[in-house]
Amino acid sequence: METSLTTDPEEAAAFIRGGGIVAFPTETVYGLGANVFAERAVAKIFEAKRRPADNPLIAHIGDASQIDELSNDVPASARVLIDEFFPGPLTVVVKKASRVPLIATAGLETIGIRMPRHDLARAFLFACGTPVVAPSANISGRPSPTTWQAVLDDLDGRIDCILQGEATAIGLESTVVDCTGAVPCVLRPGAISIEDLRRVVPEIEAFSGDTSKAAASPGMLHKHYSPRAKVVVVNQVSEAAEGDEAAFIGIGEPSGRFGRMAVCRSAEEYARRVFAFFRECDQAGIGVIYCECVEETGIGRALMDRLRRAAAG
């Protein structure tokens, strides 16, 4: 299939309305969308990404009124989070309505819902006129795409259209909070930090980092965020071994010479740049990428989660 490129949200939405799959920008990473109620279209997402069938998708909405199309059971904790953080980089998991097809949720009776805070994404979702399920728009296991060019690298010829926007502002995927239990808990850390969440829901459980919550969030078990190069997380800048085939990303400035290097001014900048840096290193034939640890507060917690997973992959 030929992949159309456009900057027009109406043109991109026409593919969704016709049962196609479309990559679009958000404030976190680019997503690969389909109409949540079109089972054939949702199946195409799994095929195009080579995504394991047990990994559930997040439903994206342009307007809060669309929550009712997805769930008839939004508990008080979810309401509070929605009021406070929608639109934004937060996904709430609630019981799904029966009309939401099981293929969208990978067989789960729950669904993740998110309203992006991004003008082009919202114009696109509005024009689609339906909630749109969208995983990150990469081949499964690869670093999430933060530019439309990264989407094209992975999915050219495999999807109907790419809605071209700017590079994404946050660079890591949304915070996922499970609101179906007695106490809400963070399944995936993101830009909305545990500190932010606790301001409005003090009892919320932090992301534990273990996989005992795997049944609730099967996607967490899969290989993730991995460049072809080996990823090594270092505590100190000085632990990174220089060389033309080595790369470094972090906040400190290493003294050695590296084939590729990204020195960031903050954890936010580090988060924004890391996935694109991984892809750039692969294109440059880098063998090992040293990633400096950051403090696990704010977005630092999400960043360390992604770095550890990339290193494990």
Q: Given CA atoms 214, 133, 112, 155 in this order, what sign does their dihedral have?
A: positive
Q: Going by C-beta distance under 8 Å and a sequence separation of 6 or more, which residues neighbour residue 283?
A: none
Kindly tell me which residue out of 58, 159, 185, 240 binds ligand TXA, with binding defined by CB under 6 A: 58
Kindly tell me which residue out of 66, 71, 77, 110 binds ligand TXA, with binding defined by CB under 6 A: 110
**Minimum distance from residue 159 beta carbon to Mg ion (Å):** 15
**Minimum distance from residue 174 beta carbon to ligand TXA (Å):** 3
Radius of gyration over every alpha carbon of the chain, rounded to an integer in angstroms: 19
Q: Is 114 or 260 the residue whose CB approaches ligand TXA more closely? A: 114
Query: Does the footprint of Mg ion cover residue 136 (CB under 5 A)?
Result: yes
Q: Is 201 or 240 the residue whose CB approaches ligand TXA more closely? A: 201
Query: Does the footprint of Mg ion cover residue 91 (CB under 5 A)?
Result: no
Q: Which amino acid is at 251?
A: I
User: What does DSSP say about strands 90-95 and 161-163: parallel, antiparallel, or unpaired?
Assistant: unpaired
**Minimum distance from residue 136 beta carbon to Mg ion (Å):** 3
Kindly tell me which residue out of 39, 55, 139, 233 binds ligand TXA, with binding defined by CB under 6 A: 55
Selection from ligand TXA, Mg ion, none that 87 binds (CB < 5 to 8 A by kind) is none
Tokens 């001014």 label which residue? Answer: 265
The contact mask relative to ligand TXA for 141-180 (x = CB under 6 A, - = no) is: --------------------------------xx-x----
Kindly tell me which residue out of 45, 74, 108, 163 binds ligand TXA, with binding defined by CB under 6 A: 108
**Minimum distance from residue 222 beta carbon to Mg ion (Å):** 9
The contact mask relative to Mg ion for 36-75 (x = CB under 5 A, - = no) is: ----------------------------------------
- Touching ligand TXA, residues 199-238 (CB under 6 A): 216-217, 219-220
List residues binding ligand TXA (CB under 6 A). 26, 28-29, 31, 55-58, 91, 93, 105, 108, 110-112, 114, 134-136, 173-174, 176, 187-188, 216-217, 219-220
List residues binding Mg ion (CB under 5 A). 136
